Amino acid sequence: MTNKKKFTNFFALILLCFVTTLVACSSKKKITLAEVGNEKIYLYQFEDQFLKTVGSLDSAKKTTLAQRLDFLNLMIKFKLKTMDARERG
């Protein structure tokens, strides 16, 4: 293999990795878990808040689906309360 062909293959591999990472990161932000009025709760928001609440990734991995749904319900209730407070002034 010539140096030019090696460089082209290497560049293509780097480009593929970059595009894959970009798509994976951007699609995570688009996943909507809940809609509260005209506001949305996105997956990345849920993950950030959940990790802050449970303390670590290991603790988060050990939680049950029911615990995660309970936390999502808490986030929804919080959104409703903040929307109500904004409307009241």
pTM of structure: 0.65
Domain ranges, ordered by start, for the chain: 1-30, 31-89
Assigned token pair, 46:
């849920």
**pLDDT given at position 14:** 62
The pLDDT-based confidence of 79 (bands split at 50, 70, 90) is: very high
Say how far apart CA 49 and CA 16 lie, in whole Å: 31
